[in-house]
Amino acid sequence: MSATLQDHEFLTRVLALAQRSRDEGHHPFAAMVVAADGTVISQAMNASSSDRTAHAEMNALRLASQQYSPQQLATATLYANAEPCAMCSGGTYWSGVGRVVYAMSEASLLELTGSDPENPTLSLPCRSVFAAGQRPTEVIGPLREDEARAAHKDFWHK
């Protein structure tokens, strides 16, 4: 399946939120969980400077999971400015969210971060994590990688 107009609209919002995360002194990551009808269930920025597991996706998924069951989240979409890492992919799977749309691939992120100890990248695509599960998770991305790179420009110390 290909990206919809709604997907691009929410990616635009997530890209802006990632820039805000950076502007507020956090790593430049953001995520949103959106219901099939376009209702924003949750949104979050990265907070891993105080908790290494507080990635934007995990924060948004925790908020969504407090309000909705996995069955209700099955038709929701997780939007992220970068491909969910292995931890966030696992969180997406366990939350029940059935769809992921992201702007920049993990491989492109690694090009930007290099060996920066603040982002020790796991080279494990989210599609591989989801493929190991017992239910399907639709993945669309990468989309709009050049735009997604903007929030990361000159942020990482390679």
For 4-14, the pLDDT digits (tens) are 999 999 999 99
Report the percent of the chain where pLDDT is more than 90.
78
57 is catalytic: yes
Q: Is the pLDDT of residue 66 over 90?
A: yes
Q: Distance (Å, rounded) from C-alpha 86 to C-alpha 97?
A: 15
- Predicted pLDDT of residue 79: 98
Q: Is 158's pLDDT higher than 70?
A: no
Question: Among 24, 57, 138, 145, which one carries the catalytic annotation?
Answer: 57
Of 47, 18, 48, 20, the C-alpha closest to 32 is 18
What does each C-alpha distance from 8 to 27, 96, 104, 123, 139 come to in angstroms?
22, 22, 13, 26, 14
When mean pLDDT is compared over 44-58, 75-89, 104-118, the highest value belongs to 75-89
Read off the pLDDT of each residue in 85-110 and give the average, rounded to a whole number: 95
Res 119 pLDDT > 60: yes
Report yes or no: 11 and 100 within 8 Å, Cβ to Cβ.
no
Q: Cis peptide before 125, with omega less than 30 degrees from 0?
A: no
| DSSP secondary structure code for residue 157 in this structure | -
In contact, 69 and 98? CB cutoff 8 Å: no
Crossing angle of helices 86-95 and 56-67, in 10° steps, is 10
Average pLDDT (81-98) is 97
| pLDDT given at position 1 | 76
Please give the pLDDT value at position 70.
93
What was the pLDDT predicted at 71? 93
Delineate the domains of the chain, giving CATH numbers in brackets: 5-152 (3.40.140.10)
Task: Using the predicted structure, report yes or no on whether residue 18 has a pLDDT greater than 90.
Answer: yes
